[in-house]
Structure 1
């Protein structure tokens, strides 16, 4: 009885971490802070900080503050239409697809881990093997999201590539840029799904033992092809 409660405690932890992973992936997709940048403008030999911009998977925003003698102000302007990759670039579309896939697999992991808390399923994909698979696939999807967007950043979204030509003509430039919290939420989700793999392992259900139990049950099953005399 104590061993059963011990396992259920680990499965409850899988439920919570899977749910946290899903929430982090949903938040990352719904927020526009995958990239944050500080934008400045040149006035002769003087550079003055004008504001910044942030970009998500679907849209972004830039805010340039008014400074004396600047004569230029943009507040809350949408930048999604100004950046050619948004949101129809194949790498962005792939990032969105893998993000959605990670959320879907995470929800499946939540359901089946909760199922394991309250019962002892005999179905292969509803039991411990399924928890390994659902959390593992979610982790892989999160990793692909991180890699895709990092490559996209290096190729198309670093430095002055963030600004449209009209801003460059007005002598604006990107002083600093980097990943925002929306991007790092995906890393947090990846960590949650990987921790779930460890919790399932600590519950006593190792991958090898799961397959051994499965093959053993198959051997014990009488063959339907045996002729009875």
Structure 2
């Protein structure tokens, strides 16, 4: 492939990696990871609410990784309540999983930025070491893509398996019991999915630029000298 086309491909991949870093950083700061509704089970049972009457006991909840908001509905109108995970909810949520999600988000941002920098370096610079060449590009994208997958797996398990929404809804509730009526992942969660797919797409762009996948070369090609192995 001509050098000019390689530069264009690397520039596109670099821009995509930088966009992933910005998107992940923006996702961390929002409360649009989960949206749902919560049912005031105690209040509904007291009046035996059914049908349209049940809607008076269904509130709303939305939250992200750092903070969120819920609207408490127990038949007397909605009462909004703001909350933050640190330090308010650490005692009732699976803190190790939640902190791991934030940590992997940070790692994703870092390696997406590193990948963007190395893409630009390969496009306009003169790479000479292995980690400055295609092997390094594969490595940074693989790490970033893996972090995105881990974020989605860990956060999904926190929400679905550990019933995070119910734990938040029942936070500091004495006489009322709340149950999750419905919940769905919101925009910020899907941004992480898109970022993971973009990192995978960057891997295909590297291959499209003419560089073999790591460890895919045959043994016959191993006769070159060590200095040549560091070049491409």
RMSD after superposition:
2.9
Q: Is 1:140 aligned to residue 146 of structure 2?
A: yes
Please, which of 74, 78, 81 is the counterpart of residue 83 of structure 2? Answer: 78
Aligned counterparts of 2:172 and 2:228: Cα–Cα separation in 1: 74
Q: How does 1:1-229 map to 2 (within 5 A)?
A: 3-41=2-40, 42-43=43-44, 44-46=47-49, 47-49=54-56, 50-64=58-72, 70-78=75-83, 80=85, 81=88, 84-85=91-92, 89-157=95-163, 160-164=166-170, 167=173, 169-170=175-176, 172-208=178-214, 216-218=224-226
- CA 1:55–1:103 in 2, change beyond 3 Å: closer, same or farther? same
Aligned counterparts of 2:190 and 2:174: Cα–Cα separation in 1: 29
How far did residue 17 of structure 1 move? 1.1
How far does the alpha carbon of each residue in 1:19-75 deviate from its partner, in whole angstroms, 9 at most, with x for none?
12111211221111222111344442321255411121122111247x9xx335422
Report the number of matched residues: 216
**Is 2:9–2:205's contact at 8 Å kept on the other side of the alignment?**
yes
How far did residue 182 of structure 1 move? 1.5
Q: Please, which runs of 5 or more residues in structure 1 have no aligned partner?
A: 222-229
Aligned counterparts of 2:135 and 2:214: Cα–Cα separation in 1: 10
**Is 1:39–1:51's contact at 8 Å kept on the other side of the alignment?**
yes
How far did residue 184 of structure 1 move? 1.2
**Is 1:34–1:180's contact at 8 Å kept on the other side of the alignment?**
yes
Structure whose alpha-carbon radius of gyration is higher: 1
Residue matched to 1:226: none
Q: Please, which runs of 5 or more residues in structure 2 have no aligned partner?
A: none
- CA 1:84–1:203 in 2, change beyond 3 Å: closer, same or farther? same
How far did residue 146 of structure 1 move? 0.9
Aligned counterparts of 1:139 and 1:16: Cα–Cα separation in 2: 16
Aligned counterparts of 1:48 and 1:57: Cα–Cα separation in 2: 28
Aligned counterparts of 2:130 and 2:190: Cα–Cα separation in 1: 33
